[in-house]
Structure 1
Amino acid sequence: MQKKQSVTIRVKPNLLPDAGQVFIVGNHEQLGNWRPDAIPMVPSPEGDGYWIREFQFRKNTEIEYKFTRGSWDSEAADESGTPVGNFRFLVDSDVTISQEVDTWRDIARQNAEKTVHTRVTGTVNYHRDLSDGILAQRDLIVWLPESYATNSDKHYPVLYMHDGQNVFDPITAYTGYDWQADETATRLIREGRIRDIIIVGIYNTNDRLEEYSASPLGEAYRRFVVETVKPLIDSNYRTLPGRVDTATIGSTMGGLVSFLLAWHHPDIFGMASCLSPSFIFRKNQAIRQIKKSALPAQPLKIFMDCGGIGGERLLHRGCKRVLRTLRFKGFMAHHTIYFSYFRNHRHAEQDWAKRLENHLELLFGEQ
């Protein structure tokens, strides 16, 4: 029998406005025989914005394919709305193909359908090109609550958010949709449901996967947050700098680094929220590290959650492994951990934005 070749196709949509499913469609049974909604792709567990699908084809198979969001009206297109031509490939060896999609036919044709916030709500300050001399430069965006300008005697707890591009501004968010942390925090503060807080968005870089993982570069990133970012914030803003008033939050790889920051620096971060954390990254590297290390010396509050659709199912397994590991190590005796499961949530900014309200109340809810 002729050996089959492994073909992995990865596509990164620059815009996926409705958190919809990405499909691959093409001229082969494995590609759905040109049915635009037959072959779903899955989000990469690394949280890098790619959708992936693996195939096994016989050598010398000629394949043609496109990407859709489930219909020909929503096939991949350029900015003018012109559908992208078929991608063609002759299978001759194992290969991984990575591509990008600018936009989709229906979106380009009907831009008026897309309704997003065009600016950040409230007061924000930017700190540009911050670096410790080791990691790549990055920006910080600092959001201040309404009371900051009117009550000069008040000091504030601080929430540090990773993937800062996606936190406040749809213009910088890579999918075109942000977490709406500014709107959500403003509303909850006005309703008296959370304390007044400062939110710091730490932008990511091209080294995101390594910086947010349990790697040497990840250790350097955590040190950067502790030794460079936090001192800058504490010296420039009226913060409550203690661990009980300092939290960190992120999704996917950002959820992983939020856990690791609290785990390794409990004297700095007393709380962490981890949305869809990628504990499975690099074959459970972080879980192995957790198993080998001692429990944090100071009590932590960890809030963890996950969705149940697509790639979220893999991340859910990682969460369960971490919970078993922590239970075995006796973590629950002196620390607090909550886990929530959202069966109908996908691996998408929109769903994380929906869950942010719950996390803000858990972290900073009025007692």
Structure 2
Amino acid sequence: MSERQSRVTVIEVTYPAHRGSIGLRGNREPLSWEHTTPPTSSEGDRHRFALQVLEGELLEFKLVRNGEEWAGGRDYVVHAGEQVHVEPYFDRHTATLLPAEELAMGDERLRFEVLLPPSYDEQDGKRYPVLYVLDGQALWSTSADPYGVWNLEKTLDHLFELNAIDEIIVVGIDTAERRLERLSPTPDPTHGGGGGEAHLKLLVEHLVPTINERFRTRPERENTALMGSSMGGLFSFYAAWTRPDVFGKAACLSSSFWWANREMIRRVQHAGTPDPRPFLYLDSGAAMCAFEKDPHVRDGFHHTRSMLRALLLQGYVAGTDLHRLAFTGQTHDANAWAARVAIPLQLLFPPPPSSHVPPDHLPSAD
């Protein structure tokens, strides 16, 4: 049986040099948990560790600042011969919710709150994708919405800790007042509404530019997403479909696709897809019994399926630029959305891909 060779395993770290020195500790040679290994090389804020690891082994490691301060998040695990890039944070291990603000545009008032990821203040050269959520009154564990809350910041903290998603800025938009009016793209014969176009204009012309000006965002469409539930899901779809140049992604939870005699579904059926085409996530609950009559329990399952079919006929590819999931037994409420919101977050904002370098392309040790 031939001896295993060691492979060069590269860990690249971006961290502001003025905030302290960066080192590694880990579970096997050439690292240890007791002593800090300095970078192989450093240039400005970029630090490179080139480590020899036996082929077939896993290396568990953690970033350390100034020889003693441990980075937030869980340990990283890499394979021999792998190359990864890490942007650690030390000062805060959870996201920061800023005080609520209002934008005034004539007679309109737009109330919103911004959640900053753990590294925002520390990684002062980094820019972040942005997620706008149309249920701002119910998002946080501190929210007092009588219909329930999402505890979104807690879900995000867990995902950040696991390195399961890219760090993002979240803008929660309060839509409690005049919700049907503001989030409906067209009037409904029974419920009225139809102010969605005006609300979208406020977002595109005022809120999004304000957020991009004040915070270190990645303003490109592919880094700007919308998410909402119920009427918020309908509006998120409408906004991404209508202004894909601004919102390149949308997550639509339990969307009210029944609105106005399924107008949005019919619009997709009879019109071409927008260019550029937005990335879409659709979901719904579903009744345990096929004969269930309560719409709260049915959760618009068949309407969401109709939208899926319309999108597939327009050229969308399931599993690529379109994802649709159903959750049997989950009803139309905040508890259900809180329970599954981690799924669309991971689909919309996957962690930046590591640069996987095949072992044969890296020098081996003698």
TM-score normalised according to structure 2 size? 0.63
Query: Are 2:258 and 1:280 aligned?
Result: yes
Q: 1:142 is matched with which residue: 114, 121, 126?
A: 114
The letter of the residue matching 1:226 is: V
Matches of 1:303 and 1:251 in 2, distance apart?
A: 12
Question: Superposition pairs for residues 1-367 of structure 1, below 5 Å?
Answer: 122-133=95-106, 136-175=108-147, 177-215=148-186, 216-309=194-287, 310=294, 311-313=296-298, 315-332=300-317, 336-366=321-351, 367=353
Matches of 1:187 and 1:348 in 2, distance apart?
A: 22
Matches of 2:152 and 2:144 in 1, distance apart?
A: 14
SS at match of 1:250: strand
CA distances 1:51-90 after superposition (whole Å, capped 9, x unpaired): xxxxxxxxxxxxxxxxxxxxxxxxxxxxxxxxxxxxxxxx
Q: Once the 2 structures are TM-superposed, how far is the Cα of residue 250 of structure 1 from its aligned partner?
A: 0.7
SS at match of 1:149: coil
The letter of the residue matching 1:199 is: V
**Contact 1:299 / 1:334 at 8 angstroms: preserved in 2?**
no
* Alignment CA distance shift 1:334-1:351 (3 Å): closer
Matches of 2:200 and 2:214 in 1, distance apart?
A: 20
SS at match of 2:101: strand
SS at match of 1:126: coil
Q: Once the 2 structures are TM-superposed, how far is the Cα of residue 163 of structure 1 from its aligned partner?
A: 1.5
What's the RMSD between the two structures over aligned residues? 2.0
SS at match of 2:105: coil
CA distances 1:273-312 after superposition (whole Å, capped 9, x unpaired): 1110000012212223333433110132111110013425
**Contact 2:141 / 2:152 at 8 angstroms: preserved in 1?**
no
How many residues of Structure 1 are paired with residues of Structure 2 in the alignment?
Answer: 245
Q: Once the 2 structures are TM-superposed, how far is the Cα of residue 235 of structure 1 from its aligned partner?
A: 0.6
**Contact 2:284 / 2:299 at 8 angstroms: preserved in 1?**
no
Unaligned runs of 5+ in 1: 1-120
* Alignment CA distance shift 1:294-1:132 (3 Å): farther
Matches of 1:146 and 1:334 in 2, distance apart?
A: 30
Overall identity of the aligned pairs, in %: 34
Matches of 1:314 and 1:350 in 2, distance apart?
A: 13
The letter of the residue matching 2:119 is: S
Q: Once the 2 structures are TM-superposed, how far is the Cα of residue 335 of structure 1 from its aligned partner?
A: 7.1
Unaligned runs of 5+ in 2: 1-93, 187-193, 288-293, 354-366
The letter of the residue matching 2:281 is: F
Matches of 1:296 and 1:131 in 2, distance apart?
A: 31
* Alignment CA distance shift 1:365-1:186 (3 Å): same
Matches of 1:198 and 1:244 in 2, distance apart?
A: 14
Compare 264-273 and 318-327 and name the one that shifted more. 318-327
Structure with bigger helix share is 1
Larger Rg: 2
